[in-house]
Every structure is written in structure tokens, then in C-alpha cells.
Structure 1
Amino acid sequence: MRQCRGKAGDLTLFGEAAVEQLLETLNPEPFYRDDAHYMERALAQARRAASVGEVPVGAVLVRDGSVVAEAHNLVETTPDALDHAEMLVLREGARSTHSWRLDGMTLYVTLEPCPMCAGAMALTRIARLVYGTPDPRKGAVDSVYDVLRHPANNHRVEVSSGLLSEPAARLLRDFFAGRRSRPA
């Protein structure tokens, strides 16, 4: 298990100091030419999520320069705790390709995946994950756990992290600040 510097309990969730501290601990793979374009699409999905009261996380699944699926969290809407943005695009990717193996695909997501989503990425055998901001509480790629690089996995996922992390973190900070300021 990989730990961030300091104690996650001492970090304000998605606060600037927490995000900066976690980003310093990452050893990201390089970004490619079109990565920012697809992450912008994921951010647009995250903004849609926030506009309907969902935690603002967006995801885009891409193969060979074509978008296979894009989605945002729907946990509150459906209501189904499994309807994270990543799970939705992985399911749609499997449906549209008629295969559970999503070889050669890249998943772009605004927030570091949780254990469930990271496990699904390993099982579906995506080639690459690009995420925006780390999750100091439930991150299962770099921050708290390291699901994708666990030695028991027979498939390795290339990980690039920190792309457009500030806009992704800002969306989350603003969303949760709004929730805390509402009367109970």
C-alpha cells in the first residue's frame, strides 16, 4: 500500500495543500498530445454532475482517438452506489465493443479512482488511466492504495496523474463547500 506524505486524516479533502502534497509524491507517466482534450471532456461531464447534485466526477473512455463512452457520477440519481463515472464508461465500453476486454483503451477521469473503480479497470484490462486530482481519502491508484500496480494483478495499467488537477479539485471543493453551507 502506498501512503501519501503525512497523514491523510490531517489533510483537508481536496484542499490546495492536500492536492499539492499528494501530487509531489506521484511519479506520473508522460502526458500525450490529446490527453488535455479528453480531460477537458471529462471536466465537462463533472460540471454536469455538479449541476444535478451529483459529486462532480466525469470520465471519458477513448480508443484510437475516438470516444467510446463518457459519463458522470449518477449515484444519487439512480440511486446506485456502483454508478461512479468510471464504472458507467467501462460498462458502456464493454457493451459497445461486445467484449469485457477493453484492450488498448484509455480512461480519463477527473478524480483518482476508488478501490471499486480501480479494480474494475484492472479486470477490464484498459491500457491506460489518466486522472486529474488525487483523492487523499479513497484514492486507490496513488494516494491511499495501489490497486492497479498490485503484484497479484496479471495486467498492468499505465498511469498518468495530475492532468488539469486544479480545475478538477476546485470543482470538488466548491461542490462540498456548497453542501456544508446548506442548512440541515
Structure 2
Amino acid sequence: MMQTEHERYMETALRLAERAYEEDEVPVGAIVVKDGAVIGKGYNQVERLNDPTAHAEILAITAAANTLGDKRLEGCTLYVTLEPCPMCAGAIVLARIPTLVFAAYDPKAGASGTLYNITEDDRLNHKVHVIPGVLDAKSNALLKAFFGAIRKV
């Protein structure tokens, strides 16, 4: 079976999630793509940086904004291995990212359709097109391994 463009980019985000896993961080990775190029990358670094806002999406958005020299990421797509939390969904809206692709749904904090739907809320001044569930099995396996190891400690 041929891999789709979304799957190919999600594989890149999954490699970043694996890096987070190796560093004992919740395994979430994110990339921002514009015109076929990755312009921002991030993976969870909450523990290492002692910063509750150091989520993969926030770091990828910041890197992309720095690359473009613009806080508005129009024409970009954000790929992330876990459905964004409310903070990250808000940042996606504020950055004017038109498309969000995520892998695993987050039943505890998902803000792109599961618990909340910040990214597609008509009351906000920007609405994001959301494509959920891309390579969700791979992301779920990584999350399950991470949280399974924590529970054994």
C-alpha cells in the first residue's frame, strides 16, 4: 500500500515522539509543513525544561514562526502525534494554521473534537480544518508503552 503524504509527514512527527520517549517525556512529536518543507519541529520537553507549556506543538509553532519571521502560519499544516490539548489548540488558532493533522485521539485532554473543539469553533476568528486519526495505531502504541512503563515503576 502506498503511503499518503499525510502519513509520510506523520512518520516524521512520530520519530520526534520516539525521541521524547527516549528522554522520558510524554511521547508526542509535531512538525509544521509549508509548501512541502518542514519549517518547524518539536517534541515534548516539559520535564527537561521544567516548563508546562513546552508541548510538542508549541515548540514546533515557535520554530516555524521563527523560520518564516511571522507569527501567522498561513498556508501551513501542523502534524502532531496526539490530539492537541486546549493550550495547544488555542495556539494553533492564534497562529492561523489552516490545517491540523493528528494521530491519536486524547480522551483526557483532546481539544480538537474529543472533549472540546477549539480548533473548529465557529465563535473564534479562525477555524482549522482537522484531519484526525492518521497513523493513530503507531502513536497509541508508543503512548501505551510509555504509560505502561511508568505504571510499573
Q: Secondary structure at the match of 1:136?
A: coil
TM (normalized to structure 2)?
A: 0.96
CA contact (8 A) 2:41 2:64 kept: no
The alignment partner of 1:60 has SS state of strand
Q: What letter matches 2:68 in structure 1?
A: T
Residue of 66, 72, 75 corresponding to 1:95: 66
2:31 pairs with one of 35, 60, 71: 60
Does residue 40 of structure 2 align to residue 69 of structure 1? Answer: yes
**1:163 alignment partner, one of 134, 139, 142:** 134
Q: Which of these residues, 129, 135, 149, is aligned with residue 100 of structure 2?
A: 129
1:8 equivalent in structure 2: none
Deviation of the 1:151 alpha carbon? 2.1
User: Distance between the aligned counterparts of 1:181 and 1:127, measured in 2?
Assistant: 40
Give the alignment's Cα RMSD to 1 decimal: 1.0
4+ runs deviating over 2 angstroms: none
Is there any run of 5+ residues in structure 1 with no aligned partner, and where?
1-31
Report the number of matched residues: 151
Identical positions, percent: 44
Contact (CA 8 Å) 2:32, 2:41: kept in 1 or not?
Answer: yes
Match of 1:21 in 2: none
For residue 17 of structure 2, the aligned residue among 43, 46, 49 is 46
Task: Measure how far apart 1:123 and its partner are.
Answer: 0.4
The CA distance in 1 between the partners of 2:34 and 2:68, in whole Å, is 11
Unaligned runs of 5+ in 2: none
Displacement of 1:86 in angstroms is 0.0
Cα deviation code 1:18-48 (max 9, x no counterpart): xxxxxxxxxxxxxx94111100000000000
In the alignment, the residues of structure 1 paired with residue 16 and residue 65 of structure 2 have an alpha-carbon distance, to the nearest angstrom, of: 20
Q: TM-score, normalised by structure 1?
A: 0.80
Contact 2:42 2:58 (C-alpha < 8 Å) held by counterparts: no
Q: What is the distance in 2 between the residues matched to 1:143 and 1:40?
A: 23
**Larger relative contact order, structure 1 or 2 (CA cutoff 8 Å, min sep 6):** 1
SS of structure 2 residue aligned to 1:53: coil
